[in-house]
Amino acid sequence: MKKKELILFDFDGVIVDGMNEYWHSSLLACKYYLNSKDICSDINTNLKTSDVFISLRPWIKYGWEMVIITHEIIKKNNPLTDKNKKSFLADYQNNCAEIIKKNSWDSNNLQKCLDRARELQISNNFDKWISLYNPFIEVVKFIKYAEKNGCQIGIITTKGKLFTQKILEKIDINPDFLYGYESGSKPEIITNLINDFKIIGFLEDRLKTLLNVANNSQTSAVPCYLADWGYLKEDDRKNLPKTIKLLKLNDLKNKLANFD
């Protein structure tokens, strides 16, 4: 029996630009839920999205990391700035781990802080919260085009499934499959899907994730596409391996015909 064709998408940075929401929700998490003596109690949660936060976003994989980064930007002493961010990024993972250790935090609890900040906004002013997300119209149209042509759609994200679902409903996308951070790693999810579907494309803006899929013997046959419009590091577009293709927004409709 012929397997159904399936196209997989990352969510943040691929289907929507949520930069303003990330910053706003991380600020709220720091203000209301994060136990820290290093930040002022009167944080202005209407502050314009930090340029430093924007520039560090490509290094962030999980939501709890956004809380750490925001904390470092807004703290009273020795904050993370444009001048010292290079040294922070030089050892990003270890620096994040050191901040967690120094403050006796836990990544799961940091994630819960962020989730609670989002739940607060959804309860108090859902329309304002959802307006902080801007969909990439070309991608939305492409997904609908793919569905009309018989492809199934899967979304794999490191955001919580509940929050992703609310945004998808607002932009009128109803995927056949939706996996949040609760479901495990993307390579693991894709490995399980391969058994039942012919995956004809995986669109993602995190190069390391694509490399993990491309270099995994169980998922190496999946066509991998780096979303040029997403949260990419400066060097991500350079010297891509043959297993990963750079995809631009205006390529999407043409690419669908070539997905095989």
Q: What is the pLDDT of residues 86-132, one digit of tens each?
A: 999 999 999 999 999 999 999 999 999 999 999 999 999 999 999 99
Give the torsion sign (CA, 209, 214, 219, 221). Answer: positive
Residue carrying the six token digits 């009128």: 172
Buried-state track 85-108, b at ≥16 Cβ within 10 A, e below 16: beebeeeeeebbeebbeebebebe
Q: What is the pLDDT of residues 18-60, one digit of tens each?
A: 999 999 999 999 999 998 888 876 677 667 899 999 999 999 9
Residue 51, burial from CB neighbour count under 10 angstroms (0-12, 13-18, 19+): exposed
pLDDT at 260: 44
Rounded to 5 degrees, what are φ and ψ at 88?
-65, -45
Q: What is the dihedral of CA 24, 27, 29, 33, to 10 degrees?
A: -150
Q: Give the residue-averaged pLDDT of 56-81.
A: 94
Spell out where the chain has E strands: 4-9, 16-17, 134-135, 152-156, 177-179, 197-204, 224-227, 244-247
DSSP 12: B
Q: What is the pLDDT of residues 130-183, one digit of tens each?
A: 999 999 999 999 999 999 889 999 999 999 999 999 999 999 999 999 999 999
DSSP 155: E
Domain boundaries, the chain: 4-17+135-258, 19-131
Q: What is the pLDDT of residues 211-259, one digit of tens each?
A: 999 999 999 999 999 999 999 998 999 999 999 999 999 888 676 555 5
Reduced to 3 states (helix: H, G, I; strand: E, B; else coil), residue 198 is strand
Q: Give the residue-averaged pLDDT of 53-76.
A: 95
Q: Which two tokens stand for residue 259?
A: 């997905």
Q: Give the residue-averaged pLDDT of 67-74.
A: 95
DSSP 76: S
Distance CA(39)–CA(136), nearest Å, equals 34
Homologous superfamily of domain range 4-17+135-258: HAD superfamily/HAD-like (3.40.50.1000)
